Amino acid sequence: MNASDAPTARQHGAMEFSEPPVDLDAVRGYRLARVREQLVRNDYAAALLFDPVNTRYASDATNMQLWCAHYETRCVFVPAEGPVVLFDYGNQPHLAEGLPTVDEYRRMPSFYYFTAGPRGGEFAGRFAAEIADLVAVHGGGNRRLAVDRLSHEGIRPLLSRGLSIHDGQAVLEQARAIKSPGELALIRVAIDACQAAMSAMRAALEPGITENALWSRLHQVNIERGGEWIETRLLCSGPRTNPWFRECSMRVIDDGDLVAFDTDLIGPYGYCADISRTWRCGDGRPSDAQRRLYAHAVEQIEANIGVLAAGKTFEEVSRSAWVIPDAYRANRYSSLIHGVGLADEYPSIKHVDDLAARGYPGTVEAGMTLCVESYIGAEGGTEGVKLEEQVLVTETGIERLSDYPFENDWL
């Protein structure tokens, strides 16, 4: 590590006992600039962000992320020009100390029912008055405010003060789509933690272990390495692998069962490692039916990585993707390819069969980090295979970010 790359005092906060691989302040500055670029592009005075992933992206200030995900108790006000204001749960300014992306700390006048009861409207009015004042002072006459998500109780008083409310989620999804070199370094740390956790799962996979017990290994190693949480519980075994999207249970995994999972892991520094693998429990060889499913899934992954390139439209990718055999089409995964950063994010590239109903326009760009998906399981079948690779789009090609091995001896 060069002297210029060494962590500064202000970089120590939630990660104060770790040494980041890059200058975190540079990552923070890049992300805030991306948000402001989108605000200017859309002619918004400011963004008001409640989603913890968005507040993390804009400010890197964290506080009880999952708890705050279901209470409107914490948000960040980001003007196109002017000071960033963090509204936080309680009065804990030490949680934002040293963050160059936070200019002012305020206690949130929370108005959700649990804390406010029937006085929610009163407290929402106080909050709206503060936001309207910030827009008036820093908006230069612009009253257009982008909000990512807010209840009716919070929106009504903002509207009553003459603010024009717009879609803040679109602003943040577009901002988050293109990663800086610093972000990519942090993503690699998250993937390293995830793949170490997957190795711990693999070592624990023996007949007689429950799905939940196996899944717990992923959590344990992630937390040990500075990770934060796991978004889903997508692990299943044997007949529960078809159709997909069953969450893990107390089912005992038997010898010969396929075991499929999707990590959806929020690792160190808040970045997501979204990788899927399917294994076989026990020392025996897979059946011919299991091998056929697996071979199709690998073929789909490899083919669809091969069609990705900077400059291609989403529709071009969809139309040139691997053709799913008829037997597996009904149970196909919900998207062909999707973005990933601090969580799953824009874009979501659809299967060609879904373009008319759910597709939307867009272009693959260098700097996007994407997950290439496959689920192969026949409708009415007894087992299925889930695979997923995380990749980076560059100007010259595709770089794999995940490299946990496939079961190549099955092919």
pLDDT reported for residue 54: 98
Distance CA 371, CA 373 (A): 6
Distance CA 332, CA 359 (A): 15
Q: Which residue segment(s) compose the domain that 93 sits in?
A: 3-176
| Among candidate residues 176, 197, 232, the one where a domain is terminated | 176
Task: Show Cβ contacts of residue 373 under 8 Å, excluding neighbours closer than 6 positions.
Answer: 276, 333, 335, 336, 337, 338, 387, 388
Are both 145 and 51 inside the same structural domain? Answer: yes
- Say if residue 176's pLDDT is above 50: yes
Half-sphere exposure for 283 (CA within 13 Å, toward CB): 0
- pLDDT band, very low/low/confident/very high, at 18 (cuts 50, 70, 90): confident
Distance CA 84, CA 78 (A): 5
pLDDT tens digit sequence for 257-301: 999 999 999 999 999 999 999 999 999 999 999 999 999 999 999
pLDDT reported for residue 90: 87
Q: What is the mean pLDDT of the chain?
A: 95
Are both 207 and 349 inside the same structural domain? Answer: yes
Are both 12 and 79 inside the same structural domain? Answer: yes
Are both 361 and 378 inside the same structural domain? Answer: yes
- pLDDT band, very low/low/confident/very high, at 10 (cuts 50, 70, 90): very low
DSSP character string of 374-397? EEE--TT-S--EEEEEEEEE-SS-
CATH number of the domain at 11, please: 3.40.350.10
Are both 321 and 207 inside the same structural domain? Answer: yes
| Among candidate residues 126, 159, 176, the one where a domain is terminated | 176
Are both 344 and 249 inside the same structural domain? Answer: yes
Are both 348 and 230 inside the same structural domain? Answer: yes
Are both 247 and 331 inside the same structural domain? Answer: yes
- What number of other Cβ atoms are within 10 A of residue 295's Cβ? 15
pLDDT reported for residue 15: 47
Are both 164 and 239 inside the same structural domain? Answer: no
Are both 172 and 188 inside the same structural domain? Answer: no
CATH number of the domain at 306, please: 3.90.230.10
Mean pLDDT, range 163-179, rounded to an integer: 98
Cβ proximity of 238 and 251 under 8 Å: yes
Are both 8 and 146 inside the same structural domain? Answer: yes
| Count of structural domains within the chain | 2
User: Which residue is it, tokens 């075991």?
Assistant: 259
- Say if residue 216's pLDDT is above 60: yes
| Among candidate residues 176, 207, 230, the one where a domain is terminated | 176
Tell which residue, 169, 176, 262, 248, has the closest CA to residue 209.
248
Cβ proximity of 379 and 364 under 8 Å: no
- Say if residue 166's pLDDT is above 90: yes
Facing residues of 340 across strands?
Answer: 344
Are both 95 and 191 inside the same structural domain? Answer: no
What are the contacts of 80-83 at 24+ separation with CB within 8 A?
A: 80/36, 80/39, 80/40, 80/44, 80/45, 80/46, 80/139, 80/142, 81/36, 81/138, 81/140, 82/46, 82/134, 82/137, 82/138, 83/138
